[in-house]
Amino acid sequence: MLKGIYHGTFPDEIELEAVLAHTAKAGFDALEFRLRREGVGPTLKSTDADIEAIARLGRDYGVQFRSLSCAIMWDNSLSSAKAEERERGRQIVIRQLEVASLLGADTILVVPAFVKDDEHAYDACYKRSQEELAKIMPVAEQLGIHVGVENVWNKFLMSPLEMARYVDELNSPYAGVYFDVGNVLNFGFPEQWIRILGHRIKKVHVKDFKTTTGNVTGFVPLLAGNVNWPGVAAALREIGYDDILTAELSPYAAHPFQAVYDIARHIDIILGGEAR
């Protein structure tokens, strides 16, 4: 398996060349951008030429872009009760697919729904988000980019059986799962999810979590929480997953670049390396 780092692990103000230089020096194979409204890296304001220039820069540093996240779906949900918000969300995902293609990525991360009140009830969110994704999948198929539905704390797709069903009902070879190991731990066992989701998993996020905390402050550095990392690695190998593990963690409060080097070593250990 390959090693990836999330762009959000770097402070926002760090220039792209410095990000790529540290990504390569730390031994990562890939960097995962998050499509944003503005900032360093690909944004909604970026032209195709801008994205192609970023792709060239990545090649110069020997850093791949294998997946693309998105930081602006929370306010533009595919499950919104408002048609105009769903339309904005759909156009953002379509642009995400286009940007991923220009970067050379083969998967985008999509959070399809947010269950939050009676107007956004579970069953309504399920139906509305699937209807929007059904409109998006032809673009994904044309570009050859997988749409990876991610499991987050959105009170939606709360079991691996339901997540598998949701993806299968989209009836496209480019509909899949972007599986987040740490996000499951508060209500499940990631190694079980991995075995059940199987071939549907297109990309994997890794982070750790302390179940005794039980809230968002429970996310901790890799190897510091309660994830059964040997079990996770074994399950991934069992389903034949040989793609990338992308660490999705925040920068350190002090000496932020050090996080990148520590994370690289932690992933080595997760994949079977010796501690030193």
pLDDT average, residue stretch 181-200: 96
Looking at residue 274, what is its pLDDT?
58
Name the helix (H) or strand (E) containing 257: helix 257-270
Give this prediction's pTM: 0.95
Tokens read off for 108: 């985008």
Amino acid 258 reads Q
Q: Distance between CA atoms of 112 and 132, rounded to whole angstroms?
A: 9
Q: Distance between CA atoms of 37 and 260, rounded to whole angstroms?
A: 24
pLDDT tens-digit readout, 213-230: 888 888 999 999 999 999
DSSP at 31:
E
Q: Distance between CA atoms of 205 and 185, rounded to whole angstroms?
A: 13
In a domain, 247, yes or no: yes
Q: Distance between CA atoms of 88 and 92, rounded to whole angstroms?
A: 6
**Cα–Cα nearest to 29, from 10, 51, 5:** 5
Looking at residue 75, what is its pLDDT?
79
In a domain, 275, yes or no: no
Looking at residue 74, what is its pLDDT?
76
Q: 10 Å Cβ neighbour count for 252?
A: 15
In a domain, 119, yes or no: yes
**Cα–Cα nearest to 219, from 184, 251, 253, 182:** 182
In a domain, 78, yes or no: yes
pLDDT average, residue stretch 102-107: 98
Please list, in sequence order, all residues whose beta carbon lies within 8 angstroms of the beta carbon of residue 255, skipping any fewer than 6 positions away: none
Looking at residue 276, what is its pLDDT?
54
Q: What is the CATH number of the domain that holds 148?
A: 3.20.20.150
In a domain, 103, yes or no: yes
> Percent of the chain, pLDDT > 90?
86
pLDDT average, residue stretch 183-208: 96
Domain that holds residue 239: 2-270
In a domain, 276, yes or no: no
The answer to whether 119 and 110 have CB atoms below 8 angstroms apart is no
Looking at residue 224, what is its pLDDT?
94
Q: How many domains does the chain have?
A: 1
